[in-house]
């Protein structure tokens, strides 16, 4: 269900915007590769283990690649609400044919499609939680907890905001020096690029409440496992024994 004022669905179901994203796939892969690899390494499996994981807001499946590569017997369920992203993903996921399937799921609703198994061994999200309003971020963390087998992990790679202007300035300063081209492009955004950026930023929030919601959902071992400026990987595990 999309909120009436919400541009998010229009953005992610726009072929123009997906074309821009596809054109920049190389730079995105370069930026994300180490983080996706780390998410795979954080999972508590042996390389010989067969397990099922869920990638929510999977897009073209970039976050799943690291796990599918490190664990050759793993299987991915890739959920997204954009038929256009799923179509692009079917092409990018070809190297893993037979080990994944896409399902349609709008994370703005708490009604999960039946095609998603009742229990999975791990859940990941990559750059998708920040597209959700806060009530759905929080609700989704609980729903993810419910879907995990005891001992299962949830990891989220995402962008965060800060309430401290000095912190935000420091992030921008460093990001602009690291990627001067992006800094230049920011000054000359087309209307489509501006809409995409506005959509990217609208529900980005600080880290602290997100960690609190993860803990409230029941997760243990909650930590920020990686952080660089405004990008983080945080998560935790569903305890083997539930609190009573």
CB 140 within 8 A of CB 129: yes
Residue 82 is a binding residue for ligand SAM (CB under 6 A)? yes
Residue 210 is a binding residue for ligand SAM (CB under 6 A)? no
Which range binds ligand SAM by CB under 6 A, 124-132, 147-155, 201-209, 217-225? 124-132
How far is it, in rounded angstroms, from Cα 14 to Cα 82?
Answer: 9
Q: How far is residue 211 CA from its own chain's centroid?
A: 15
* Residues of span 11-30 touching ligand SAM by CB under 6 A: 12
CB 195 within 8 A of CB 7: yes
Residue 54 is a binding residue for ligand SAM (CB under 6 A)? no
- Distant-in-sequence, close-in-space partners of 187: CB < 8 Å, separation ≥ 6: none
The token pair at 237 is 């595990």
Least CB distance to ligand SAM at residue 157 (A): 7
What binding mask, one character per residue, do residues 59-78 give for ligand SAM by CB under 6 A, x or -? x--xx---------------
**Sign of the CA dihedral with 243 first, then 114, 71, and 213 last:** negative
Of the candidate residues 58, 144, 148, 233, the single one contacting ligand SAM (CB under 6 A)? 58
Residue 193 is a binding residue for ligand SAM (CB under 6 A)? no
Least CB distance to ligand SAM at residue 82 (A): 4
Angle among Cα 38, 178, 89 to the nearest 5 degrees reads 50
Q: Which is nearer to ligand SAM, 20 or 220 (CB)?
A: 20
Residue 199 is a binding residue for ligand SAM (CB under 6 A)? no
Q: Are strands 75-80 and 100-104 parallel, antiparallel or unpaired?
A: parallel
Residue 139 is a binding residue for ligand SAM (CB under 6 A)? no
Q: Which is nearer to ligand SAM, 111 or 165 (CB)?
A: 111
Least CB distance to ligand SAM at residue 84 (A): 8
The token pair at 115 is 């095609």
CB 186 within 8 A of CB 161: no
Of the candidate residues 85, 120, 144, 232, the single one contacting ligand SAM (CB under 6 A)? 85
CB 229 within 8 A of CB 42: no
Residue 141 is a binding residue for ligand SAM (CB under 6 A)? no
* Residues of span 89-118 touching ligand SAM by CB under 6 A: 105-108
Please count the CA atoms within 13 angstroms of the CA of 32 that sit on its side-chain side: 22
Residue ranges binding ligand SAM (CB under 6 A): 8, 12, 57-59, 62-63, 80-82, 85, 105-108, 126-128, 131
């Amino acid at each position: 269900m999309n909120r009436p004022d919400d541009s998010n669905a229009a953005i992610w179901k726009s072929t123009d915007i997906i074309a821009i994203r596809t054109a920049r796939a190389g730079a995105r892969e370069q930026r994300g590769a180490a983080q996706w690899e780390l998410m795979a390494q954080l999972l508590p499996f042996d390389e010989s283990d067969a397990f099922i994981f869920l990638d929510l807001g999977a897009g073209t499946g970039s976050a799943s690649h690291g796990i599918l590569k490190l664990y050759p017997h793993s299987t991915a369920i890739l959920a997204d609400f954009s038929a256009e992203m799923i179509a692009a993903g079917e092409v990018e996921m070809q190297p893993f044919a037979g080990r994944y399937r896409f399902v349609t799921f709008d994370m703005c609703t708490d009604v999960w499609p039946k095609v998603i198994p009742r229990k999975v061994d791990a859940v990941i999200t990559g750059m998708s939680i920040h597209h959700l309003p806060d009530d759905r971020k929080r609700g989704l963390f609980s729903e993810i907890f419910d879907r995990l087998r005891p001992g299962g992990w949830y990891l989220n790679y995402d962008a965060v905001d800060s309430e401290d202007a000095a912190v935000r300035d420091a992030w921008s300063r460093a990001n602009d020096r690291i990627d001067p081209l992006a800094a230049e492009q920011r000054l000359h955004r087309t209307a489509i690029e501006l809409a995409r950026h506005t959509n990217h930023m609208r529900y980005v929030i600080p880290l602290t409440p997100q960690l609190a919601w993860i803990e409230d959902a029941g997760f243990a071992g909650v930590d920020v496992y990686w952080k660089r400026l405004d990008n983080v990987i945080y998560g935790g595990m569903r305890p083997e024994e539930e609190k009573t």
